[in-house]
């Protein structure tokens, strides 16, 4: 058996349904959409779970139990390579990152990730560091300071 002899298993490949190819094709005229109604019109779409205006099942059921999403910690990721734009010996915190446009959006804090290289000596004060980022910052002669998370007040960019 060689590569040119390989074929898909019988039944694994289906013919594509070709719509609107004449009346005798079985899918001509209305192209399988039936007559009239919302879904026969072009541009018709509805979201998953839509029940034609009836109260959807997800809204009819009582909401109970624990939701872990309320207790997660979200970070804005900033790579080490983007810290190279700052001056040598400068102190970098959330306000400086926001002013530079590197930490925009809502989150509990900023996490420095280790993608890229750093050639400048910087003092970085944020909520979290990856192990590789910490090694790269300290390897360039800088220092890493972990500031406490502010869970109540989210980090927001100045508009």
Question: What gap in Å lies between CA 100 and CA 115, rounded to an integer?
Answer: 18
DSSP 81-127: GGGGGSPTT-EE-HHHHHHTTSS-S-BSEEEEE--S---S--EEEES
Q: Is 16 helix (H, G, I), strand (E, B) or coil?
A: coil
Tens-binned pLDDT, residue by residue, of the chain (159 aa)? 899 999 999 999 998 999 999 988 889 999 999 999 888 999 988 888 899 899 999 999 998 889 888 889 999 999 999 999 999 999 999 999 999 999 998 899 999 999 999 999 999 999 999 999 999 999 999 999 999 987 665 555 554
CA end-to-end span of the chain = 65
The pLDDT score that the predictor gives to residue 158 is 53
Query: Could you identify the residue written with the tokens 């446009």?
Result: 101
- Would you kindly state where each structural domain of the chain is located, as residue ranges? 74-146
CA quadruple 3, 5, 10, 13: dihedral positive or negative? positive
The pLDDT score that the predictor gives to residue 60 is 95
Residues paired with 107 in a beta bridge: 155
Architecture of the domain whose range is 74-146 = Ribosomal Protein L15; Chain: K; domain 2 (3.100)
Q: Is the pTM of this model over 0.75?
A: no
The pLDDT score that the predictor gives to residue 59 is 93
Question: What gap in Å lies between CA 144 and CA 100, rounded to an integer?
Answer: 19
Residues paired with 109 in a beta bridge: 75
Q: Is 4 helix (H, G, I), strand (E, B) or coil?
A: helix
């Amino acid at each position: 058996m060689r590569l040119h002899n390989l074929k898909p298993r019988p039944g694994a490949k289906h013919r594509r349904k070709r719509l609107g190819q004449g009346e005798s094709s079985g899918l001509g005229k209305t192209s399988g959409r039936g007559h009239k109604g919302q879904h026969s019109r072009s541009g018709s779409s509805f979201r998953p779970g839509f029940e034609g205006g009836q109260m959807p099942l997800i809204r009819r059921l009582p909401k109970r139990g624990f939701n872990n999403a309320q207790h997660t910690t979200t970070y804005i990721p900033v790579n080490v390579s983007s810290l190279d734009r700052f001056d040598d010996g400068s102190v970098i915190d959330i306000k400086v990152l926001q002013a530079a446009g590197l930490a925009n959006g809502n989150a509990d804090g900023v996490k420095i990730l280790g993608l890229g290289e750093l050639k400048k000596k910087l003092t970085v004060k944020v909520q979290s560091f990856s192990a590789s980022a910490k090694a790269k910052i300290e390897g360039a002669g800088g220092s890493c300071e972990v500031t406490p998370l502010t869970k109540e007040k989210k980090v927001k960019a100045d508009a």
